[in-house]
Amino acid sequence: MEDESWKLDTLIELYSAVSIPQVVIFCNSKHRVEQLADQMNKKDFTVSFLHGGLSQDERSLRMKEFRSGASRVLISTDLIARGIDVHNVQLVINYDFCNDIDNYIHRVGRSGRFGKKGIAINFVNINSSKDRLQLEATEKHYSTTIMALPQELEEVFAF
């Protein structure tokens, strides 16, 4: 299995460098969601997580906390990719690049709602043929170019 420790390092760097009201971080599995939440909490970053393995009451409580702003960072599977509207989500991070091209637009569409500016960041290992192929297929499917994140983050996060 390929080393993806760079993803956690990059996430912590982003988290430390910018102030965003609310963030949704997508992972491709329940295990990965819980693993990332645990890693972030161990590093003293407060995050919540959500996936289909939680009870409906637990999912409802965590969404209520996120909507109210009590929780600023929500790590989730595609469970919330469609139909979830949270007013202050300005950043979506695809920690794991979306396996389903059709879900990609729904994931990134969680940010910048209600007339606000939103940003989507994809963690893609350009040295991985799987990631590269998924990125190219997504760009082709949506007739777009997904650009690399510039070094000067202030340019991107000027809300």
Residue 150 in domain:
no
Residue range 79-90, pLDDT digits in tens: 988 877 777 788
* Among 51-65, 76-90, 117-131, the range of highest mean pLDDT: 51-65
Residue 157 in domain:
no
Look up the CATH number of the domain holding residue 136.
3.40.50.300
Domain count across the chain: 1
Residue 151 in domain:
no
What pTM value is reported for the model?
0.88
How far apart (Å, rounded) are the C-alpha atoms in residues 18 and 101?
A: 28
What mean pLDDT value characterizes the chain? 86
Domain that residue 36 falls in: 5-17+25-144
Mean pLDDT on 75-98: 86
Residue 104 in domain:
yes
Confidence grade of residue 96 (pLDDT, cut at 50, 70, 90):
very high
Reduce the DSSP state of residue 92 to 3 states and report it: strand
The pairing of strands 119-122 and 89-94 is: parallel
Confidence grade of residue 1 (pLDDT, cut at 50, 70, 90):
very low
Q: What angle do CA 20, 39, 52 make, to 5 degrees?
A: 80
Mean pLDDT on 69-83: 89
Q: Determine phi and psi for 48, rounding to 5 degrees.
A: -115, 160
Residue 69 in domain:
yes
